[in-house]
Structures are given as structure tokens and as C-alpha cells.
Structure 1
Amino acid sequence: MDSNLKATYAGRMNEVFTYIDQHLSGDLSLEKIAGVAHFSPFHFHRLFKFITGETPGEYVQRRRIEKSVSLLLHQQKSVSEIAHVLGFSDGSAYSKAFKKFYGISPSAFRQEHPYRLERIQFPNSKIGHEYPDTDAYLRKLNHLKAWINMEAKIEVKEIAPIEVAYINCTGPQNLAATFQQLISWAAPKGFFVPNSKMATVYYDSFKVTPAEKVRMSACLLLESTLAAEGAIGLRTLAGGKYIVGSYEILVEEFEKSWTALFLWMNENGYAMGDAEPFEIYHNNFNEHPEKKAIVDFYIPVKK
């Protein structure tokens, strides 16, 4: 494919993913989202499956169901409320779709799921993972509490909206190359300078979504307003109330640090808000004498 055409297609797909994220409760029919990308439904269906490995319908249904898992765990919404928020016709339709996907009803899942910080396990589901026993889980919680007390500075604060340029990617194995692509675009234009900050936005949870399907954005924080350009999208990270955990950690400690911060959120009476969690980096860990990242983790919250 011609490089200019490829960049144009990538820009249109940025708009599609953003539209889906913002309209999970609305009309996400093939015709509707193909129109967002300015493609015919037939051409869009083929292109979308080529890029994501899923049809548009499969992707939308998975996003809705996996989003509902987070709501079941971290918010006190009823099954009917979750169905409405995520675009199902009613609670019965949502429960049927959830059970088809995971082999258990959402109500049963909420009642029976004891280990919210573990990778989600569903009987007869596509996700094969054994729960730890209760004692092992409690030991893990105590370890995480001790870890975060030693390793993190935690604040709850209001932040202003943050303007970023970004490139989407799927799967952590592609994130480093996506950052390099973003830097290669920004540096010649003078947008990437020694004090520039990079960020990663997460649209899915590794606790729910298979890692190879987790969608992320590699981001560059902007000092001025720009125009979108091909594969480079522009977006605003939502302002509002966030738990901010500041760490100086090894790359292999990121998962533990996120889990500990979500534990802190739960134990301090907060529920996760509607925006996406993200990381902002304050150094290049490869240049740190101990190969550590100086990073802030942001979780949107509400009481």
C-alpha cells in the first residue's frame, strides 16, 4: 500500500476507535462507523478486520462486554444500568451476551468473584486462569500494601486537560516501536525536545482483555495546538479527579505498581471514573543508572 494512503487510512481509523470509545451506549452499526471513516461498509469491514483481526461487530461487542466487567467490579451500577450505559437494549439482552461470551451471568459474576485484583476468571470461558486460594490472595494484598507504601508517593488531585499527539497500537509488544514512530515524526518538526514528556493511555485492562488485544496510545504531550497528520492523531486527556501514583521503578515492576495503586483506590473508598488511565514518563529509563523509570500513573476516580 502507498505510504500516503496508508497514513490516510490510519488517520481515519484513529477517528473510528475514538468514536467507538465515546459512543459505546449508542449506534455502532457497521453503516454508522463506516461512515465515520468515510468508507463504504463493505470496504470498511474488510479493512477493519485486516487491522484488528476482528470484524467491527465482534470488536464492538467485545469492548462492551469487557467494559462491563470493569463496571461490575469497580462501580455500584445495577445490571440494567450497565446495559443502558453500554448500548444493550435491556438487562436481559446484556446478560445473554455476557453469558455467551464468558459462560456466566453478570449477576453471578459480581456475587462470586472474590479476587478483583487478579486476572479475571470465568467458568467455561476463553480465559484460562486459576484463582489463588484465599490465604495466598491475602498475602498478595499485604505485599502490595507494603510495596506501595515504600515505593510510591500517592496524591488525589484535580488535573487540567492534557493535549497530546498520539499513535494507536495493539499489544504491549508493539508499544516501543510505536513510540519510536511518534518520535521520528515529532523530532524533525521540533515537537520532541529534551524536556518533552511521553505518555501511554490504556483503553483496555490487562486483567480482562487478552494482552495481544489491549489497545493503547503512545502519546507526546504538546505545548501548542497542532493539526492531525496521517497516522498521528490529536486528543485531549480528560481533566478531573485522579489518583496519581509517582514511582521510580524498573520496567518489570509496572504491573505490580498498577495493581497496588488500584488496591489503594479500592481501600480508600474511590471508584474508577469514566476516563482512561494513563502513564506520564519523566525520563528515559535506559539513561537511568539503575535502568529505572520515573513515572506517574493516573487513575480517574470518583467517590
Structure 2
Amino acid sequence: MEEYKRRIIRIIKHIDEHLDDDLSLEKVAAIGAYSPFHFHRIFKLITGETLQNYIIRKKIEKSALYLALKKNVDIKEIYMELGFANHSVFNKTFKKYYGQSPSEFRRSAPESFHKILQVESKNGQVDTVFRQYICNVENLLNWRTMNLKIKVTQLQEMNLACVMSLGLADVEKSYDILIDWAKRKQLFPRENVKMISVYHDSFKVTPPEKVRIHASMLLDEQLMEQEGEVFPEIIETGKFIIGSGEVTLHDFEKCWASLFLWMNENHYSIRKAFPFEIYHSNFKEHPEEKMIVDFCIPIH
């Protein structure tokens, strides 16, 4: 099973980086050195969904993120970039996932600070509903002022060793695998070691159990190849909004929401890179379960 996971990780990374390319079963299976039939079964076993469903979901989620954060970009430009044949196909597929048209979705997000949830209705059908964040905008702004220091800065390239987590529930397990690997390499424990969570999906558009998170450790030198479930990733140099604070795990949602609000208020736009968290302390070692965290958003 570990070998299967390693190969599936390689495939998932390829899919996410090539959503506008040919992602036929045969071509994707070949990346992991599988036969199409065998790959189809293994992929569903590990991810819980078929390859086709995964690809469509990722495209729709990415389009939802663009609709919410890039309101000046034409809808046609968005769906064409993601490989949808025409507006009718895109509109129908988007509505299936989110219960409203792309233009309706764009009007409702993100200023109203809604969070997308999947719930079952009385007749057993999955409907898309919205609920407000735990704070209204005014309270969120006050909380941000009191708890986060925000700056815009250039970060240098970061070399990471990562273990993939599919869903929030597996993040701690992924870090355990990473730390066991680092201990064998004598990379842990060491002074000022930094753990980083890289979010390859947004909780605004992806159900929590499907969000892909890379549990990562900052390395002094680049990891040259995958070792079991541990694989290399590079955060490229670039400009970032960084919100820093001492917070609890329950505050993370407010941190991210307030930072994206700050981004919009100050007329920055997110670029094609992944947001991440850098941990400077361990909440398990704090009497109030607080930790010092940098929340980082890549911007132009």
C-alpha cells in the first residue's frame, strides 16, 4: 500500500499542475506506471473517488476560487483555461457542485464571507448551502487588529520535505510520518526547525475531508527525490502577505478570513501559488494551547 500511495502522490501532483492538459485515464495511469484498469481501482481505493470525478471536482473548485477572488476576469476566460468546451457545459457542471450558476456564485462570494458546505437535504440529495463565518465583518476586523501583525514582504525560495494529507483528519498522521523520516535522517529534532502546512485546496470550495494539505518541514538543502511517502516541494521566491500571531487552532479560520479581507481592502490579488502556514512553536507545549504562526498568502 505504501508504494501505491507514493505513486498516487506523484499522479495527484501532476493532475493539479496540468488541469488544462490531456488527463485521460491512459495518460495519467502511465505517469504512475499502472495499467489503466489497475490504476482506476487503486486511485479510487486511496482517494475515495474515480479519476474522472476527481479531475472534474478539481477543475470546478479551481474555477470557484477564481470566480471569488478574480472578479475582473471574464467567466469565459476562466472556463476556457480549465478545458471546458463551452459555457453551457461549464454552467451545468458548476451548478451540479454548488447549486447555483457561476455568475450567481461570483456575486455571493467572497465579500459576504460565506463558507461552502455540503449537506444532505431531507430527500437525500446533496445541496449546496451557505453559512456565515463565526464573526461578522466588523468583529473580524477588530479581532484582526488585536491578534495579527500584517506585512507584505518578499520571501526567498524554500525547500520542503512533504507528506500529503487528504483531509484535515489525516494531517497529524502525515506529520508523524514526516517526523519519523526526519529522525532517521537526523534532521529532527534540531534548533529552529520549521514545520509548514501548504494548502493545495481552499476550504471555501473544497469539503474539509477532501482538502489536500502537504505536511512539510523546511530543509537547508533540496530533497532530490521522493523517499517513500516523503516527497520534495519548493516554495518559489515571491511576494507574500504574512499575518503573524499567537493563536489557537480554533482561530485559524478567522486568521485566513481576515487576511483575505485585508488583501482585498488593499487591492492585492492572489497569484498562482499555494498559501501556507509556518509554525514557530508547538501548541501542545503551551498551557492555553496557543502557537506562533505565520499565515502566508502569495500575491502579485
Are the equivalent residues in 2 in contact too, given 1:165–1:220 (CA < 8 A)?
yes
- Cα separation, partners in 2 of 1:116 and 1:24, compared to 1, 3 Å: farther
Distance 2:117 2:287 in 1: 39
TM-score (norm 1): 0.90
Q: Is 2:139 the partner of 1:143?
A: yes
Q: Is 2:97 the partner of 1:80?
A: no
Q: Is 2:34 the partner of 1:39?
A: yes
Are the equivalent residues in 1 in contact too, given 2:60–2:94 (CA < 8 A)?
yes
- Cα separation, partners in 2 of 1:92 and 1:122, compared to 1, 3 Å: farther
Are the equivalent residues in 2 in contact too, given 1:156–1:244 (CA < 8 A)?
yes
What are structure 2's unaligned runs of at least 5 residues?
none
1:217 pairs, out of 198, 204, 214, with: 214
- Taking the TM superposition and a 5 Å limit, the aligned residue runs for 1:152-163 are 152-163=148-159
Q: CA deviation at 1:112?
A: 4.6
Distance 2:128 2:66 in 1: 21
Q: What amino acid sits opposite 1:248 in the alignment?
A: E
Aligned length: 293
Root-mean-square deviation (CA), in Å?
Answer: 2.2
1:49 pairs, out of 38, 44, 49, with: 44
Instruction: Give the 3-state SS of the residue equivalent to 2:161 in structure 1.
Output: strand
Are the equivalent residues in 2 in contact too, given 1:73–1:116 (CA < 8 A)?
no
Instruction: Give the 3-state SS of the residue equivalent to 2:293 in structure 1.
Output: strand
Q: Which residue of structure 2 lines up, in the alignment, with residue 14 of structure 1?
A: 9
Q: CA deviation at 1:115?
A: 4.7
Q: Which moved more, 1:243-252 or 1:81-90?
A: 81-90
Q: Which residue of structure 1 lines up, in the alignment, with residue 271 of structure 2?
A: 273
Are the equivalent residues in 1 in contact too, given 2:95–2:101 (CA < 8 A)?
yes
- Name the structure with the higher helix share: 1
Are the equivalent residues in 2 in contact too, given 1:121–1:129 (CA < 8 A)?
yes
Identity in percent: 44
Are the equivalent residues in 1 in contact too, given 2:150–2:243 (CA < 8 A)?
yes
Q: CA deviation at 1:122?
A: 9.2
CA distances 1:72-116 after superposition (whole Å, capped 9, x unpaired):
010122111111221222333322221233332212322355754
Name segments (4+ residues, structure 1) moved above 6 Å. Answer: 121-125
Instruction: Give the 3-state SS of the residue equivalent to 1:199 in structure 2.
Output: strand
- Cα separation, partners in 2 of 1:142 and 1:90, compared to 1, 3 Å: same
CA distances 1:166-191 after superposition (whole Å, capped 9, x unpaired):
11011111111110111011112112
1:102 pairs, out of 98, 101, 104, with: 98
Distance 1:85 1:198 in 2: 34
Are the equivalent residues in 2 in contact too, given 1:15–1:37 (CA < 8 A)?
yes
